[in-house]
Structure 1
Amino acid sequence: MKRRYPFLISIPHGGTRVPPELDGQLQLGKKDIRYYSDPDTRKLFGFGDRVAAHIEAEISRMVIDLNRPPLPLPPRDPDGIIKIRTVDGRLVYRDGKVPDMPLIHKLLMAWYFPYHQKIDELIDDRGVALAFDCHSMLPRGSGEQKDAGKKRPLICLGNNGDRTGQAGKNGITTCPPEWVQQLAGEFRKEFGLGREVAINNPFSGGFIANAHYWRKGIPWIQVEVNRALYEPGRHECPKKSPACYSVRELRERIWRVLTQFWDHVDTGP
């Protein structure tokens, strides 16, 4: 019988669905939705029955961002749960078409809260020992982001700590520092990388990892994979051009990293 690892895999930003309630309201087209959502993460982290639990979003993050807290709403936070601007400053909605409160409530009840409730249920029912919130990132920070214009690492691991995985002053990490350090080491070994594998830089973990760690006490690690590793033409790649790996090849290498990491840190019976 094939071994099933006690992981929960969460993929909140791979969906591309736009609900019919928003027909004619978006400024962004289908290609834009795909670009800002990145459905390839569903393949990249699609480990199937090799893990204890798996959840992925159907809804596009440009409609509902599941990795944001439920407040604040627009216009106070243009990159929050309901987005009004993209990371590079483009308008998401046509003029005067930003969802009103009744529609926002309907969208949250249909898509946002069920995703988070399902995570809790999976943790309770499936024997989850460690959860990964899985993402991709653009090769450079965009104009609306804190790292605008800066080159990003090829892998970023987040546990809400500092750049060594340690908790900051009055802070708390979503997994032990030794774990995220060990995982970074496994990525470096597998891909032959050094500083291109970063911890908590530029992303230290979003709402999903932090909220569900607090709720359930299960360790969480946010995994960010640079799109340059599997999308052609993004930026220089350390192995080969135009992209380093096919999505399928990269998935299997990531899986090898995760399992080798767990085999090292797991102290259970």
Structure 2
Amino acid sequence: MDKVLSFHQGRLPLLISMPHAGLKLTPAVDEGLVDAARSLPDTDWHIPRLYDFAWELGASVVAAEYSRFVIDLNRPEDDQPLYVGATTGLYPATLFDGEPLFKEGKAPSAAERASYLERIWRPYHDTLREELLRLRDQFGYALLWDAHSIRSQIPHLFEGKLPDFNLGTFNGASCDARLAEQLQGVCAEAVDFSHVLNGRFKGGYITRHYGQPCDGIHAVQLELAQSTYMQECEPFAYCEQLAHQTQGVLRKLLETMLAWKPAA
């Protein structure tokens, strides 16, 4: 059977989701991509490596195997837009810079895309839902950290340079306000980095859909500027010295999340 995701079950009430870390392509997508897309530039590069301490912390981890160029796991299945202005959909048609993703007439067919929804999107979301419910049943609450990264400058999507750490809680709807405040405090202490809460990236479908504090599930998205840990242009190399410092902040964020408890 085709492997569409990797999953590790942890021992504490935290699930880390990595929906845009995948690099695999289907034959139809591989055949149709324009030359500028062949290096998969819009990938959340090296996210599993950057979070390689998560297993030690006791977190559960689910990561996509397929590229977002096949199907975007952080979009709703009805493909309703999540952001005002330029964005990409469930089946991306453009690169982040606005250029076409596929050669003319070479985009996957509707039938192929329907199969991606069933074979790739649904298993990922089934895994998310089932693990969050398992954690909530075991601990009384569940925590979801949706781990992303993006180039720090993409004029087509946002003006200027993105802050280093972009926390999103869907304007406070996806997690307890005290938890968000504590996470902001961690970022504020990391004086070598900039941060924002609910700026350009407020949380995508995963954060918005699964983050239901009234039901005991608290979700936070982190959109991390790739300039904090890697080379932002080809060959998209991981920079160990940069990444080490960034990992220290990530670890503190997740430790803070794990130390937090909902009010009785």
Please tell me the TM-score bracket, short chain as reference: 0.7 to 0.9
Q: Which residue pairs with 2:21 in the alignment?
A: 14
Structure 1 CA distance, aligned partners of 2:117 and 2:232? 36
1:256 is aligned, of 242, 252, 256, to 252
Structure 2 CA distance, aligned partners of 1:140 and 1:22? 26
Q: TM-score under structure 2 normalisation? A: 0.80
What is the CA distance between 1:250 and its match in structure 2?
Answer: 2.7
Q: How many residues align?
A: 241
Query: Following superposition of structure 1 onto structure 2, how do residues 1-269 of structure 1 map, counting pairs within 5 Å?
Result: 4-28=11-35, 32-33=39-40, 35-46=41-52, 47-72=54-79, 79-126=88-135, 127=138, 129-143=142-156, 145=157, 147=158, 149-161=159-171, 165=172, 173-189=173-189, 191-193=190-192, 196-214=194-212, 217-232=216-231, 245-263=241-259, 265-266=260-261
User: Which amino acid is the alignment partner of residue 253 of structure 1?
Assistant: V
Tell whether the 8 Å contact from 1:85 to 1:91 is kept in structure 2 after alignment.
Answer: yes
User: Which amino acid is the alignment partner of residue 7 of structure 1?
Assistant: L
Structure 2: unaligned runs, 5 residues or longer: 1-9, 234-238
Tell whether the 8 Å contact from 1:43 to 1:248 is kept in structure 2 after alignment.
Answer: no
What is the CA distance between 1:73 and its match in structure 2?
Answer: 8.3
Superposition RMSD on alpha carbons, in Å?
A: 2.9
Alpha-carbon displacement from aligned partner over 1:227-254 (angstroms, at most 9, x marks no partner): 11112478xxxxxxxx794435533431
User: Which amino acid is the alignment partner of residue 183 of structure 1?
Assistant: L
Tell whether the 8 Å contact from 2:37 to 2:101 is kept in structure 1 after alignment.
Answer: no
User: Which amino acid is the alignment partner of residue 137 of structure 1?
Assistant: I
User: Which amino acid is the alignment partner of residue 197 of structure 1?
Assistant: H
Alpha-carbon displacement from aligned partner over 1:149-178 (angstroms, at most 9, x marks no partner): 3221110110011xxx4xxxxxxx101222
Q: TM-score under structure 1 normalisation? A: 0.79
User: Which amino acid is the alignment partner of residue 213 of structure 1?
Assistant: G
What is the CA distance between 1:87 and its match in structure 2?
Answer: 1.4
Structure 1: unaligned runs, 5 residues or longer: 166-172, 235-242
Bigger CA drift: 119-128 or 90-99? 119-128
Percent of matched pairs sharing the same residue: 26
Q: Call closer, same or farther: CA 1:233–1:59 in 2, change over 3 Å.
A: closer
